Amino acid sequence: MAVNADAIQAQRIDVIIGAAVLLAVALLLPALQTQAWWLIIPCLICLILRWRMLAVLLLFAAMTYADTWLAGLYFLTLTLLLLMRMSSQPDADPSALVKQAAQQILLALPILVLIAVLIIAAGARWQDRSSPDRASTGVGETMTPGSVSELINNTEIALRVTFDDSTPAPAPGALYWRGIVFEDFDGRSWSRSDRLDFAPILAPDTDGVHYEVAQEPSRQSWLYGLHQAYTSREGTYRDARGILVTAEPVRQRIRYPVVSYKPEPDLNALAPALRQTNLALPGNSNPRTRQWAQDLRQQYPDDQLLTEAVMRHFNDEAFYYTFTPPLMSEQGIDDFLFNRREGFCEHYAGALTFVLRAAGIPSRVVAGYQGGDYNRFSNHWTVYQYNAHAWVEAWHPGQGWVHLDPTTRIAPDRINIGIDAWLAVSQEDLAPAARLRLQLAGIPGFSTAREAFDAGQYYWNFGLFDADGNLRTQDLNQWLENNGLASLPVWLMVGMLLAVVVRVLLTGERKPQKRSPTVKVYLAWDAILRKQGYGRRPAETVTAHLWRVALVVPQQAEACHDLADQLTYDLYHDDPADINRIKARIRDINRAMRKHVPRNH
Amino acid sequence: MDTGISQRAARLKQVWQTQVRARFDKRQSRWLARRVPPAASVRLSHKIIFILPTFQGTVFALGALVVLVIALAERNLVAMLLAGLMLSLFLLSLVLCYRKLSGLRLSAHEPVSRAPRQRCFAGDTARFTVDLQAAGKRRTHSDLWLGFGSDALQVISLPPGGQVSVVLDCPASARGLLSAPRLMLHTVYPAGLWRAWSRPDLAMQCLVYPRPLVCALPVPNHPYTTTAAGRQRAAQQGGVDDFVGLRAYQTGDPMRRIAWRSLARGQGLKTKQFVQEAEPPLILNWETFAGRDPERVLSCLCYQVLQLSRRRACIGLKLPDTNIKPGQGEQHKHELLQVLALWP
């Protein structure tokens, strides 16, 4: 009776647990859509089949894709199941297994806190997955003196761009890949305005330059394009400043089509708020520059003439273009314009913007990449991180935002021929990797090989991954969608999870020990004997058991004793006993039992 | 070709087992003897518990580390926490696994002596009893595997604060004093990521009698009988034992005394009863088997002792340097067998 009650209790617990898991799964459904189902489903299958190691590896692989808290919860459930599966007592009561696994997770939490504290203390940073992070690769969220020039040693690829055959590609000097616009200046660094003004996409009706950009993961949420760029990519918006912003940071290699139109004169007046933003300067910083700007203003009332005068100033005076400038003092722009006169593109762009703003011309800094290497094999442009660049846009009434690049006046080679050409003559202290790159580029045939390798990579990426950087499974997805099975993977994941729960909750059998055939024969016979009440008792030796059997069937006492001897010999020796003899003995004993022992014992 | 390779492989395997492996085992056992000296009772502590990650555990930890590095590189907080949790589970597993063994007290069921109570015949299995006592009132020790050597382990569970006795089998191949091999106690609780083990030696012993070897029984030699009464009875009786009837079986009755036939007839378990006859004492003499292999001689003597004591004969024993006076009864039989077992 007590056993029955226990069994009912256990069944009730099973039902409760099952229902709870079902509820949790139902809650998790929306979050699962984006999860790596191609890893999770095999992982669940492995859990059912008890392939623990494979399940562990698949679970770990899938974990790297978890980036929402709901997904984290789902993985926690999976971990619980895995722990139940890995338990060293698979025969234990299901509720005991659940309890044990939950206990382990709870006990692990303090250690987790400790690990997390250590990781944070070691300097780990993370980002809210919905907002971009400042310390990501490539052009950053802010621009301080040195932030662009430090990319000169970075040989990673930033973009690969393929121009449409129908439209001629612009000249290398005109390849300004706009990324981000900096409007806020705090005296030292430029940062982007927090507010984004999403303008409705109204692409002009004229012919534009069509091209496709393949962007490496930057973990930032802006895309790159030439002037007046529009993209039809999903989840991407165009800001009023002309920058392309994605809803999700770029975590994979994505591709997007872009159309750039010819800049047309903007006859409207600048919106007052925007005008104010683009004229703002931190109070009483760089007084000499402000004074100089006032002087220029008095000299040139016209905005264009004033701008041209400043640009000419960079050319006429002894300014130097270098990516290892001396450190600037507090009044960085005064120091740069009147004392040091050495800097990289971000110094010139920052100084020009400051001067123009001080003179009352709305202006802003634009950061992105400039130039790129043309690949003859695959007809695409490869833009590296060392192509990072910063330039200026100023508002001229009647013209709109005008593109200004002070670098063209100081180091025109960098723009017109390419940064490598400028680096080759500049004779500056490069990092070993960058120096090696330049030296290798001098070897005949190396650049061809590099191009060929790059082209191979380009085609590889193109062939294997779709526009969102996922493995090309869209054919499968398309087929699923066409057959009304779009959410099949999710339901599979859910169904499998339930199957695992059921399978784990049902007590499993322990992996059988390696046994000799003789012992197997004995064990099978023992199972039959147990039903009749003569089975081997726990902690009873085979010999003692068989002697007990001999008491039941004295007619075959000799057979029992012989069987005991044979089995004992088999257990403790390497060479197996004669199995036929053992089987014959068992047959004899069985026959005697059938004949002499009443059935209902 | 194929046979050549397999032969060579077999030879290599043999060399490996006999030379490399054996040498390693020898060194290990020497080291263990220093580290874990034999004692009748052992409390498992950090000094004699060894713990290492299993293959699964290694893969688990490395996998978790890789996920952690990827999560750190991608600045993915959720994945970072999940990987951290996996690492924490791995580390926690170490503690839980160790705690399953730590504090457990193992002791031999009977004290060490020159004549241990455990006895068996050569070729049979010796049985040793080990007592396990939990570390504390609330400590459970479940999922432990105990045995001699690495194979044929038994699963053991101790209730909270409880005690359990485990019977372990060990083959007894040669007569003499058999010392139980080192115990192997291990556990992979809770998830098979770590394996904690200990090799205590409880100095358990078992006396192994020679294996009985069938041979002719000595004829009772009347002139040697010593007492007058014995002589008289010997003159009167014709056979060795006189069967007088059956009585109900009592626990402890020798197996060979059981009346199988009456049991087969369905008359219940009966013991054959014989007349308690006094017999002239028989002296089993080593010299009877002069010139034969000493081990075989001892086996034959063992058989004779067993057979004759079953017939309640009064037997004495004469070995080259030992002399046992004739006697009767179960205790005397064991005394004789012990002498045979321990004969140098």
In this prediction the ipTM stands at 0.72
The phi, psi pair for B150, rounded to 5°, reads -100, -15
Out of A60, A86, A539, the one facing B63 most closely (by C-beta) is A60
Predicted pLDDT of residue A105: 93
pLDDT digits (tens, 9 = 90+) for B229-265: 444 444 444 344 566 677 777 777 777 777 777 778 7
Query: Strand ranges (DSSP E) for A388-513?
Result: 388-396, 400-404
Q: Which of B74, B79, B75 is nearest to B64 (CA)?
A: B79
Size of interface A-B (CB pairs under 8 A): 152
Q: Which chain B residues are closer than 8 Å to A69 by Cβ?
A: 78
- SS3 category, A599: coil
Buried b (16+ CB within 10 A) or exposed e, A422-436: bbeebeeebeeebee
Amino acid identity for residue A425 in this structure? V
Q: Residue A510: closest CA among chain B residues belongs to which residue?
A: B155
Predicted pLDDT of residue B231: 46
Taking the CA of residue B5 and the nearest CA in chain A, the distance in Å comes to 24
- SS3 category, A92: coil
The span from the CA of A515 to the CA of A453, in Å, is 57
| Region of B298 on the Ramachandran plot (φ > 0 left; ψ -120 to 50 alpha; else beta) | alpha
Q: Which chain B residues are closer than 8 Å to A88 by Cβ?
A: 143, 187-192
Instruction: Scan for tokens 């009912």, then name that residue.
Output: A8
Out of B64, B191, B193, the one facing A60 most closely (by C-beta) is B64
Instruction: Answer yes or no: do B191 and A112 touch at CB < 8 A.
Output: no
The span from the CA of A343 to the CA of A326, in Å, is 8
Taking the CA of residue A4 and the nearest CA in chain B, the distance in Å comes to 23
Out of B76, B169, B189, the one facing A67 most closely (by C-beta) is B76
Taking the CA of residue A435 and the nearest CA in chain B, the distance in Å comes to 27
Taking the CA of residue A146 and the nearest CA in chain B, the distance in Å comes to 23
Predicted pLDDT of residue B49: 92
Predicted pLDDT of residue A25: 63
Instruction: Scan for tokens 């340097």, then name that residue.
Output: B321
Amino acid identity for residue A410 in this structure? I
The span from the CA of B163 to the CA of B155, in Å, is 15
> Is residue B95 a contact partner of residue B196, using CB atoms and an 8 Å limit?
no
Q: What is the average pLDDT score of chain B? A: 81
Instruction: Scan for tokens 């100081």, then name that residue.
Output: A410
Which of the two residues, B71 and A473, has the higher pLDDT score? B71
Sign of CA dihedral B93, B95, B96, B101: positive
Instruction: Answer yes or no: do B89 and A53 touch at CB < 8 A.
Output: no
Taking the CA of residue A192 and the nearest CA in chain B, the distance in Å comes to 22
Instruction: Answer yes or no: do A88 and B260 touch at CB < 8 A.
Output: no
Q: Looking at the complex, does the CB of residue B229 fall below 8 Å from at least one CB of chain A?
A: no
Residue ranges of B 121-150 with Cβ closer than 8 A to chain A: 124-125, 127, 142-143
> Is residue A407 a contact partner of residue A321, using CB atoms and an 8 Å limit?
yes
The phi, psi pair for B31, rounded to 5°, reads -65, -45
Q: Which chain A residues are closer than 8 Å to B66 by Cβ?
A: 60
Model confidence band, residue B97 (pLDDT cutoffs 50, 70, 90): very high
- SS3 category, A489: helix
Question: In whole angstroms, what separates CA B326 from the centre of its chain?
Answer: 32
For the residues of A11-25, what is the DSSP string, one character each? Answer: HHHHHHHHHHHHHHH
Distances (CA, A) of A234 to A222, A231, A247, A254, A578: 13, 9, 9, 12, 75
The span from the CA of B289 to the CA of B307, in Å, is 17
Q: Which chain B residues are closer than 8 Å to A539 by Cβ?
A: 154, 166-167
Q: Which chain B residues are closer than 8 Å to A64 by Cβ?
A: 67, 70-71, 74, 76, 79
* Beta-bridge mates of residue A255: A214
Instruction: Answer yes or no: do A129 and B76 touch at CB < 8 A.
Output: yes
Question: In whole angstroms, what separates CA B10 from the centre of its chain?
Answer: 32
Q: Looking at the complex, does the CB of residue B190 fall below 8 Å from at least one CB of chain A?
A: yes
Out of B80, B83, B92, the one facing A104 most closely (by C-beta) is B92
What's the whole-model pTM score? 0.52
For helices B77-101 and A52-63, the axis angle rounded to 10 degrees is 150
Instruction: Answer yes or no: do A105 and B85 touch at CB < 8 A.
Output: yes
Tell me the CB-side half-sphere exposure of residue B44, using CA atoms within 13 A: 28
Q: Looking at the complex, does the CB of residue B166 fall below 8 Å from at least one CB of chain A?
A: yes
Residue B67 has pLDDT above 60, yes or no: yes
The span from the CA of A113 to the CA of B83, in Å, is 12
Instruction: Scan for tokens 């003569």, then name that residue.
Output: A534
Q: Which chain B residues are closer than 8 Å to A56 by Cβ?
A: 56, 59-60, 63
pLDDT digits (tens, 9 = 90+) for A343-353: 888 888 888 99
The span from the CA of A352 to the CA of A359, in Å, is 11
Task: Give the mean pLDDT of B201-229.
Answer: 71
For B42, the token pair is 């052992």
Out of A124, A129, A571, the one facing B72 most closely (by C-beta) is A124
Cβ within 8 Å of residue A482, ≥6 positions away: none
pLDDT digits (tens, 9 = 90+) for B288-307: 777 778 888 888 888 888 88
* ∠ CA A411-A412-A418, rounded to 5°: 100
Q: Residue A105: closest CA among chain B residues belongs to which residue?
A: B89
Residues of chain A with pLDDT under 50: 1-5, 128-135, 509-511, 601
Instruction: Answer yes or no: do B59 and A119 touch at CB < 8 A.
Output: no
Q: Which chain A residues are closer than 8 Å to B92 by Cβ?
A: 104, 107-108, 111
Out of A88, A136, A555, the one facing B190 most closely (by C-beta) is A88
Element spanning A546, H or E: helix A542-552
Q: Which of B248, B177, B244, B237 is nearest to B207 (CA)?
A: B177
The span from the CA of B188 to the CA of A89, in Å, is 9
pLDDT digits (tens, 9 = 90+) for B145-186: 888 876 677 888 888 888 888 888 888 888 888 888 888 898
A189 burial type by CB count under 10 A (0-12 exposed, 13-18 middle, 19+ buried): middle
Q: Where are the domains of chain B?
A: 31-209, 211-239+278-344, 243-276
Predicted pLDDT of residue B196: 93
